[in-house]
A = this chain, B = another copy of it.
Amino acid sequence: MPANEFDVSALPDIQNRRDSRNVAIDHVGVKGVRYPVVIMSTQGAIPTIGEFSMSVGLKSEVKGTHMSRFIEMLESHSSPLTQENFVNLARATADRLDAPFCEIELKFPFFQNKSAPVSGAQSLLDYDVVWRTVVSGASGAKFTLKAIVPATSLCPCSKEISKYGAHNQRSLISIEATLLEMVSLEELVNVAQNAASCEVYGLLKRPDEKFVTERAYDNPKFVEDMVRDVAVALSADSRILDYAVEVENFESIHNHTAYARIVGRPDTKIQKAA
């Protein structure tokens, strides 16, 4: 191809032109970008597949952002990815795009190696994790850790009113916490699992199945109980600035979901509960 025609200096840069509408944009960027990443965890450096959203604020006088630079920044990310260099990636992206603000969200599946409760048989349990960071000149950097954890819930009402049995189901417990100090993923997952009627496992032999069945029956929990137990645990943790916890029960007796949600802020009643 002719060198001159494709010479970048010969091509107009429309995005850099002035915009006359006088409207700043809160977020502009890319979504749904899948990339392999290596996450630094307490288990060491773990390869997984991430889905990134990256955005910056755009000043009112500029026509457009340079979308390709988000992918350039992603290409250049440090590996393994720690929470610290994830925040630094957002800082560098804000700089590269001359932006007042940058937000990056990274969602990835993570795995916990679990031993079945009686047989000790090993298997992996998968859950989703979200890292989010917001950096801005005005307010510094913020890091949020989210874990979405499957578990079993067994209905206290069903147990109490029935001669035998109790309806139970899979639940999803989502904890999102803004961290003041390092909190490991495994700690959040434990908080979630402790709040449920029972943990779930990839592999259960018959003695294990007997154990989890009886464990859940001995430990009934409403969706309200689970969300409150998580809130109490997080409110007592001084490393956490604020949090949101949501629990969904995929009811075995209905075709819809029961759910509950608590948002905990430094100044709310939830903190006093601790």
A residues near B, CB below 8 A?
1, 5-8, 11-15, 19, 21-36, 47-49, 55, 58, 60, 63-65, 67-68, 71-72, 75, 109, 111, 118-119, 121-127, 150, 152, 154-158, 160-170, 198, 200-207, 209-214, 216-217, 222-225, 227-229, 231-232, 248, 250-263, 269-270, 272-273
Contacts and interface: CB of A to CB of B under 8 A. Distances in A.
A121 B72 contact: yes
A269 B225 CA distance: 43
Contacts of A118: 1, 6
Contact of A207 (B11, B21, B28, B67): B11
25 contacts: A1-B118, A1-B211, A6-B210, A8-B205, A12-B160, A21-B228, A25-B262, A26-B263, A28-B223, A28-B227, A34-B255, A55-B259, A64-B225, A68-B204, A72-B121, A152-B167, A161-B209, A162-B209, A167-B213, A170-B251, A200-B252, A202-B254, A212-B253, A213-B253, A216-B252
B32 A207 contact: no
A164 B259 contact: no
Given A65-B224, A165-B166, A224-B63, A259 B123 contact: no
A119 B161 CA distance: 15
A207 B224 CA distance: 21
